[in-house]
Amino acid sequence: MQIYRRPFETKTWQYRICPAETMVKIHPDLTTSGAGEETSSPYLTTEQESFTIWMKSLVFNTNGCTVFDSKGNIIYRVDNYNSKSCREVYLMDLSGHVLFTLRRQKFGLFKTWEGYRSSSATVESTTKLEYFRVKNNVFQVPNKDSSSSYRVNAGSCRNDEQYCYKMVTRGSSLAIEDNCGKLLAEVKRKQSINGLKLGDDVLTMMVESQVDHSFIIGLVLAHSLINCIL
């Protein structure tokens, strides 16, 4: 039996990819929103852009998630292997380069996750969002139909939290807003071309223009980890 090792930031790991026909069902190659002209950072949207989040790992029989862009290309992946809700999670690109490291922290009764952008990433970010901390505002009992909120502090490092964001869940949808209430991204269950909702593990994420989508994916992962989804 082959044993998969947890990836470290300095290495790229081999993995076994799911069959192509499985991915087509999750993300059919339909009309795209487009990413606009090439920018200085591949993570920065130039217009509203859609992504598909599949809460499954590319490694068979393991936990994790896979993120597709609007053209159906895999751009992010998380492989937790045999661990669910573990203490440390890596957000990687398709090649296995670590972009963000997420670590669980203990602050009283509140569930808190911190994210650190990797210095070994193949492409540097042009934003100042190198660190973030996500914490649920109050003690909340998970409820599929309830509304809950999460506070997000971010900045260039742990001691430089210049920015404040908010994540709000309403039913099965998740909205990410800045401190002025402006919508940055929204995640909800994906629908088929006929309007039928797919499984609970297939999501659509809409990201507004001029937003770092690698940072947004990091926040979505932190939310999933807090709620023991990932």
Dihedral class, residue 64 (left if φ above 0, else alpha if ψ from -120 to 50, else beta): left
pLDDT score, position 35:
36
CA atoms within 13 A on the CB side of 145: 0
End-to-end CA distance of the chain: 25
Among 83-87, 176-180, 213-217, where is mean pLDDT lowest?
A: 83-87
Residues 51-72, mean pLDDT to the nearest whole number: 91
Measured CA to CA, the distance from residue 96 to residue 82 in angstroms comes to 18
pLDDT tens digits along 156-180:
888 887 889 999 998 889 999 998 9
In terms of pLDDT, which residue wins out, 222 or 10? 222
pLDDT score, position 6:
46
pLDDT score, position 86:
79
Mean pLDDT of the chain: 79
pLDDT score, position 211:
95
Structure tokens at 5: 């090792």
Residues 60-72, mean pLDDT to the nearest whole number: 90
Of the ranges 57-71, 106-120, 212-226, the best mean pLDDT one: 212-226
Domains by residue range for the chain, with CATH: 48-226 (2.40.160.200)
Asked if residue 42 lies in contact with residue 123, where contact means CB atoms within 8 angstroms, the answer is yes
Report whether pLDDT(22) > 70: no
Report whether pLDDT(87) > 50: yes
Residues 129-134, mean pLDDT to the nearest whole number: 90
Residues 54-78, mean pLDDT to the nearest whole number: 91
Measured CA to CA, the distance from residue 186 to residue 176 in angstroms comes to 6
Asked if residue 118 lies in contact with residue 101, where contact means CB atoms within 8 angstroms, the answer is yes
